[in-house]
Amino acid sequence: MEILVCVKRVPDAAENEIAVEGGAIRGDDLVYSVNEWDNYAVEEAIQIVEREGGSVTVVTVGDGDAEEVLRREMAMGANQGLLLSDPAFAGADGLGLATILAAAVRKGAYDLVLTGALADDGAAQVGGMLAALLDWPFASLVNLVEVDGSRLRVGREIEGGTQEVSDIDLPCVLSIQTGINEPRYVGLRGIRKVASVEIPVLDAAALGVTPAAAKVRRLDYFVPPAGAGADMLTGTTAELAGQLLGLLKAKGGIK
Amino acid sequence: MATVFAYIAHAGGRADDSALELLAAVRTLFPGADPVALVAGSGPSLEAACQEAAASFAEVWKFDQEALAYPNAELLRPLLARVLPPGALVLLPHSTLGMDLGPGLAVKLGAAYLPDVVGGSPLEGTSLQAVRQEFSGQVSAHVACDVSGGAVVTLRSGAFKAEPSRSAGGRVVDRSADAGGLSARRRFVKLVQAEAGDIDITREDVLVSVGRGIGDKENIALVEELAEAMGAALCCSRPIVDAKWLEKPRQVGTSGQTVKPKVYLALGISGSFQHLGGIKGSPFLVAVNKNPKAPIFQAASVGIVADLLELVPALTEAIQKGK
Ligand SMILES: Cc1cc2nc3c(=O)[nH]c(=O)nc-3n(C[C@H](O)[C@H](O)[C@H](O)COP(=O)(O)OP(=O)(O)OC[C@H]3O[C@@H](n4cnc5c(N)ncnc54)[C@H](O)[C@@H]3O)c2cc1C
């Protein structure tokens, strides 16, 4: 099974306080990492290849910095990386990204394309668009994959934790939900092993794409008004514990 | 303005709560529009859902086909691409179905895709201004969407408050003939219900809930002790279940359990809408988070900016002494 996994370099929301300045995200000291959902997608691809044979390619659209996430996923076990990079790609919206990725898919011979279910911008759109551009079937929020000849049995996680099980023909695109597996640990040794592997770079000309003008544009970022807001308690740890104990007792929170 | 359509999700003959929220969103984003409800399915339960939709929408398009008995996005997408007029403005709930259907539908219609909208202002010309959230609600963004070639918009649950139906007394138009001959390369097999655990957090009055801020599996013992001292049940956010630190039946949220406690103590939880979406009945919500800007503080009754690893043992001790 030849599998392509789309990954993205994002500001790590757990490591950063995302601050807004003048309508933009303050960028100087942001820590970046692989989008959380993508690690599950790469792990799933590696596990499928371990069972069925084949190879895993990780791909990203971005500038030179984006290469680091490809290397991280290769250290995890992906066989090769592919960087799609061109100044013309800057500012691409979801459809723009899907168009660039679709061109890369057409250049290869993949049976299966995986994406993360969502990136931290929360749009959950690239996988579904990519499938539509390729005219391949699609399933989102996948939390189970079993290979069965020329088709897969997939589970989608729907509301309330219920799983919707379907059969889907190959080739197809799946967006992967967290919790489907346990992404393996990436050690320093793994990182060192792939540090000097060459990663091919394809630009707009090589891919034969010109992303169309974005239909959706972000105007600005802002911090939402705090609303009614909470009563904020202050004090030393012991004082806070004491105040909280009082409040919890009063509200029936201590039995 | 192009015609506005609202996709009505339904189950067991009842229209989903999202139906009236879509209607409220139409009134905010496309005032003056008379939206058409799209209802697909099969048999008597479809008919009942159509009648319910007709109480709020002036026109309801009914698609009755055996193949549509289960809402498979791989069938709904080609169906909608077939029947919707050029330039259509389509509203979907940002549910697991909306996420499955929406992005590809926008591509097939050549329309813009505007996902997970939480607010916005009335359409001006061909530019729709909407509000979205990013980074689990830590920041919001204004976005402008060019709807001149149509648009598919998905709406976050709860963002537009459902208004009571206006007794539209709408007419149901049977468009089933247009839904013939659909086939999909993804075929629905079955639903598997979430496993029941040894604890039912939906019945508990007092919940201690732990999120990724706990940092390490070893630290779970700290919150277990606190829950025990309080006589509360322990629950958690999704990353804790993904990491297998606690079992799935303890997960609160849209893809977990919906709880209705009187007191909810959220420890190291950022407050994503998928988590908060599982908490009903506005409990006394106490949030402990080391980030003063965490979105959970907007939903909380009482907030404490602190490291939970320090505060939790101190609180446990205070309770044990105070008892
Ligand atoms: C389709 C879908 C369904 C989902 N369903 C659910 C669901 O049912 N339930 C759910 O919970 N999520 C769900 N999610 C995931 C959700 O989007 C968030 O990723 C998740 O809720 C985040 O969990 P968290 O708040 O524990 O972690 P994070 O967002 O990582 O937040 C951790 C918080 O802990 C704080 N913190 C860190 N260290 C400390 C410390 N020492 N002391 C105090 N505070 C600290 C940080 O400041 C941060 O605010 C779903 C996502 C999708 C896409």
pLDDT tens for each residue of B122-133: 999 999 999 999
Q: Which residue of B has its CA nearest to A181?
A: B242
Please write the tens of the pLDDT for every residue from B232-248.
999 999 999 999 999 99
- Model pLDDT, residue B143: 97
Q: Is the pLDDT of residue A122 over 80?
A: no
Across the interface, do B302 and A222 touch by the CB < 8 Å criterion?
Answer: no
Max CA pair span of chain A: 68
Across the interface, do A127 and B187 touch by the CB < 8 Å criterion?
Answer: no
- Cα-based distances in Å from B89 to B8, B84, B85, B99: 14, 9, 9, 17
Candidates B293, B302, B271, B123; CA nearest to A224 is B293
Across the interface, do A178 and B242 touch by the CB < 8 Å criterion?
Answer: yes
Quick check: A173 and A138 in contact, CB under 8 A?
Answer: yes
pLDDT top residue among B197 and A6: A6
Give mean pLDDT, residues B74-93. Answer: 98
By CB neighbour count within 10 A (0-12 exposed, 13-18 middle, 19+ buried), where does A250 fall?
Answer: exposed
- Pocket probe for ligand 1: among B133, B234, B269, B286, the residue whose CB has the most ligand atoms within 8 Å is B269
Going by alpha carbons, the residue nearest to atom 41 of ligand 1 is B307
Q: What is the CA radius of gyration of chain A?
A: 21
Quick check: B30 and B4 in contact, CB under 8 A?
Answer: yes
Quick check: A128 and B103 in contact, CB under 8 A?
Answer: yes
B117 touching chain A per CB within 8 A: no
- Model pLDDT, residue A227: 62
Question: Binning pLDDT at 50, 70 and 90, where does residue B166 land?
Answer: low
Residues with Cβ < 8 Å from B72, sequence gap 6 or more? A166, B184, B186, B187, B188
Candidates A69, A61, A59; CA nearest to A33 is A69
Candidates B58, B60, B59; CA nearest to B49 is B60
- Cα-based distances in Å from A180 to A130, A154, A157, B151: 22, 11, 10, 32
Q: What is the mean pLDDT of chain B?
A: 95
Going by alpha carbons, the residue nearest to atom 5 of ligand 1 is B255
Q: Which residue of B has its CA nearest to A169?
A: B185
CA of A35 to the centre of ligand 1 (A): 14
- Pocket probe for ligand 1: among B220, B289, B312, the residue whose CB has the most ligand atoms within 8 Å is B289
Least confident of A8-22, A137-151, B136-150, B152-166: A8-22
> How many Å apart are CA A44 and CA A147, to the nearest integer?
12
Please write the tens of the pLDDT for every residue from A59-99.
999 998 999 999 999 999 999 999 999 999 988 899 999 99
Q: Which residue of B has its CA nearest to A225?
A: B298
HSE-CB at B49 with a 13 A cutoff on CA atoms is 29
**How long, in residues, is chain B?**
323
> How many Å apart are CA A66 and CA B307, to the nearest integer?
33
* Residue to test with chain B: of A15, A43, A134, A254, most B Cβ within 10 A: A254
Neighbours of A105 (CB within 10 A): 21
B140 touching chain A per CB within 8 A: yes
Candidates A122, A142, A144; CA nearest to A131 is A142
Which chain B residues contact residue A131 at CB under 8 A?
A: 104
Across the interface, do A124 and B115 touch by the CB < 8 Å criterion?
Answer: yes
Across the interface, do A230 and B300 touch by the CB < 8 Å criterion?
Answer: yes
Give mean pLDDT, residues A189-194. Answer: 92
> How many Å apart are CA A153 and CA A166, to the nearest integer?
6
Q: What is the CA radius of gyration of chain B?
A: 22
Ligand 1 contact via A176 beta carbon (within 6 Å)? no
> How many Å apart are CA A55 and CA A2, to the nearest integer?
5
- Model pLDDT, residue B35: 95
Across the interface, do B303 and A232 touch by the CB < 8 Å criterion?
Answer: yes
Window 37-76 of B, Cβ < 8 Å to A: 72-74
Question: Binning pLDDT at 50, 70 and 90, where does residue B168 land?
Answer: confident
Q: Is the pLDDT of residue A17 over 90?
A: no
> How many Å apart are CA A116 and CA A126, to the nearest integer?
9
By CB neighbour count within 10 A (0-12 exposed, 13-18 middle, 19+ buried), where does A192 fall?
Answer: exposed
B87 touching chain A per CB within 8 A: no
Question: Binning pLDDT at 50, 70 and 90, where does residue B323 land?
Answer: low
Quick check: B145 and B115 in contact, CB under 8 A?
Answer: no
Does ipTM come in above 0.90? Answer: yes
Neighbours of A60 (CB within 10 A): 26
pTM: 0.96
What six digits make up the tokens of B21? 């929220």
Quick check: A74 and A200 in contact, CB under 8 A?
Answer: no
B1 touching chain A per CB within 8 A: no
Ligand 1 contact via B253 beta carbon (within 6 Å)? yes
Category of B122 on φ-ψ map: left (φ > 0), alpha (ψ -120 to 50) or beta: beta
By CB neighbour count within 10 A (0-12 exposed, 13-18 middle, 19+ buried), where does A30 fall?
Answer: middle
Q: Which residue of A has its CA nearest to B154?
A: A123
Q: Which residue of B has its CA nearest to A222?
A: B140
Query: How many A/B residue pairs have CB atoms within 8 Å?
Result: 273
Instruction: State the DSSP string of A138-186.
Output: EEEEEEEEEEETTEEEEEEE-GGG-EEEEEEESSEEEEEPTTSS-PPP-
- Model pLDDT, residue A95: 95
Give mean pLDDT, residues B213-224. Answer: 97
Across the interface, do B311 and A242 touch by the CB < 8 Å criterion?
Answer: no
Helices (H), ranges, chain A: 36-52, 67-76, 94-107, 126-134, 188-194, 204-207, 237-250
> Which residues are paired to B206 by β-bridges?
B263
Peptide bond into A171 cis (omega under 30): yes
Give A121 to chain B, closest Cα distance, Å.
5
Across the interface, do B103 and A25 touch by the CB < 8 Å criterion?
Answer: no
Alpha-carbon torsion, ordered B309, B310, B316, B320, to 10 deg:
150
